Amino acid sequence: MKKNEKPSALLLILLEFCGSGRLSSACIEPERIGLIKLKAAFNLPNGSTFPWWRDDQGDCCRWEGVWCNNISMRVTMLLLNDTRDSRLGPWSLNASLFLPFEELEALDLGFNQLTDCRGVSSFLYFLPLAAFTETLRLKRLQVLDLRTNELTEVPSLHELPSLNALYLQFNYRLKNLSRLEGLKLEAVDVSFNHLAGDSLSAIWSMTSLKALSIAGNQLGDSIFQETAYTDDQLVEVKFISKSRLESYRGNILEYMSGLDLSCNNLTGSIPQEIGYMINLLILNLSNNHLMGPIPSTFSGLKQIESLDLSYNRLTGKIPPQLTELSFLSIFTVAHNNLSGQTPERKNQFATFDERSYEGNIFLCGPPLESCNTSGQSPLTPPIPDQKEDYAFRDAFTWSFAGSYVIAFLGTVAFLFMLNFFR
């Protein structure tokens, strides 16, 4: 029995060893020294960051936030986000401290109150930074993350010839995107800023653009036609997920699983073409000024789980074909101008209550009030005829004349009493 157990235990140990870059035998000495210097820089003047990075622990590949290649034992990823003590205030980091890490592909310095980053060379492949200056020139940089800062304009990026993805979300002061013009970006995220529609002209000039997120802005006029996607070329995007460097390559819209254009000032009608994005799981067009009917092509979104069209100006009936969406678990068209009967309460639509339809006073049917015999809401206002209009006009004329006479007589009486008491 013991003979059978030993190989199993040995196999388990080998699998564990091979599956984790954190368990490599030892890191490279120059990189270990470089990490100690990084720790000192993060702790200026008297911080206590990285207490687990110690000289007496030789294998830096096992330090928290450090990831190494299993074969070369070189550092490939540093997750240093939100590590500096905020009480130490803003600071400037000498980016040459990263030079010892020759195989570094991913570096996260977000949320560290960085005000500057100078002296970096051109070896990095992926770099999310919390602060960025024009002195940063990274020839191999492909993805740049500048989200959640206080940028007022985009820094010059023309010294980054390999850049193909840029993330600028949550920069509430960002107004000027003119420096993006001429860049060959394939993925851009400028969501949740205060951008107006005319500030996106530099983005529309990007001939290589494949993916764009613009939710949470003030775009004004409808932009659906300008963001039409017709290119069949593939785009590769790299990102950090759960402490792993991941990548995706493919036709972005063909495989897009979520589209959020909420909280803009979008106007016009919803394009029929959105219904052809058959892999959408989440579609959010809420809090805009969209008008017209809900496209019947939405019945083609067979995989969709969440559909939010609330707080718009949509009119007409809810397409009955939507009951064919068997995976739909969240549905709301609240606060629009929709009319007619609600969809038949079958399949997923049997689970939606009145909150999904509230704010549409001309909608009727379960779970709202029952419709009348003509299939209309009992609150549908009658069309005013000409007689009612004349009656209202006559009543207004007589009431105005009566009020004028009473006011005139009151003024005369007041003046008479005033002379009497004198």
> What is the number of domains present in the chain?
2
Q: For 229-288, write each residue's pLDDT tens digit.
A: 444 444 454 444 444 545 555 545 556 677 778 888 888 899 888 888 888 888 999 999
Stretch 183-196: mean pLDDT: 84
pLDDT above 70 as % of the chain: 61
What does the pLDDT read at residue 85? 78
More confident residue, 234 or 138: 138
Q: Find the range with the poorest average confidence among 39-43, 264-268, 293-297, 370-374.
A: 370-374
Q: Is the distance from CB of 25 to CB of 73 less than 8 angstroms? A: yes
| 310: phi then psi, degrees, rounded to nearest 5 | -70, 160
Stretch 31-54: mean pLDDT: 82
Query: Has residue 13 been placed in a domain?
Result: no
Could you tell me the two tokens for 151? 């940028």
Q: For 93-124, write each residue's pLDDT tens digit.
A: 676 777 787 777 666 766 666 554 444 434 44
Indicate the average pLDDT of the chain: 72
What does the pLDDT read at residue 92? 66
What does the pLDDT read at residue 256? 66
What does the pLDDT read at residue 156? 74
- Confidence class for position 79, pLDDT limits 50, 70, 90: confident
CATH number at residue 263: 3.80.10.10
Query: Has residue 117 been placed in a domain?
Result: no
**Exposed / middle / buried, residue 295 (Cβ in 10 Å: 0-12, 13-18, 19+):** middle
What does the pLDDT read at residue 315? 95
More confident residue, 354 or 55: 354
Query: Has residue 299 been placed in a domain?
Result: yes
Q: Find the range with the poorest average confidence among 207-221, 306-320, 355-369, 387-401.
A: 387-401
Query: Has residue 179 been placed in a domain?
Result: no
What does the pLDDT read at residue 249? 52
pTM over 0.85, yes/no:
no
Peptide bond into 155 cis (omega under 30): no
Q: Find the range with the poorest average confidence among 4-13, 159-168, 336-345, 347-356.
A: 4-13
Q: Is the pLDDT of residue 345 over 80?
A: yes
More confident residue, 123 or 205: 205
Q: Is the pLDDT of residue 135 over 50?
A: no
What does the pLDDT read at residue 292? 94
Pairwise CA distance, residues 5 & 23, whole Å: 24
Q: Is the pLDDT of residue 372 over 50?
A: yes
Q: Is the pLDDT of residue 150 over 80?
A: no
Q: Is the pLDDT of residue 298 over 90?
A: yes
Q: Is the distance from CB of 121 to CB of 96 less than 8 angstroms? A: yes
Stretch 207-218: mean pLDDT: 76
**Nearest CA among 139, 130, 131 for reference residue 159:** 139
**Nearest CA among 362, 374, 263 for reference residue 311:** 263
What does the pLDDT read at residue 382? 45
Pairwise CA distance, residues 361 & 339, whole Å: 8
What does the pLDDT read at residue 220? 65
What does the pLDDT read at residue 326? 92
Query: Has residue 281 been placed in a domain?
Result: yes
Stretch 320-346: mean pLDDT: 94
- Confidence class for position 88, pLDDT limits 50, 70, 90: confident
Q: Is the pLDDT of residue 338 over 80?
A: yes
Query: Has residue 240 been placed in a domain?
Result: no
Name residues whose C-beta falls within 8 Å of residue 355's C-beta, 6 or more positions apart in sequence: 332, 334
The number of residues making up the chain comes to: 422
Pairwise CA distance, residues 296 & 343, whole Å: 13
Query: Has residue 274 been placed in a domain?
Result: yes
**Exposed / middle / buried, residue 182 (Cβ in 10 Å: 0-12, 13-18, 19+):** exposed
Could you tell me the two tokens for 191? 């969501």
Q: Is the distance from CB of 196 to CB of 221 less than 8 angstroms? A: no
Q: Find the range with the poorest average confidence among 17-21, 155-159, 237-241, 317-321.
A: 17-21
Q: Look-up: residue for tokens 């803009």?
A: 264
Stretch 131-149: mean pLDDT: 59
pLDDT above 90 as % of the chain: 20
Query: Has residue 422 been placed in a domain?
Result: no
What does the pLDDT read at residue 343? 93
Where among 71, 87, 111 does a domain terminate? 111
**Number of Cβ atoms within 10 Å of the Cβ of 191:** 22
Query: Which range marks the domain in which residue 44 is found?
Result: 19-111
Q: Is the pLDDT of residue 381 over 60?
A: no
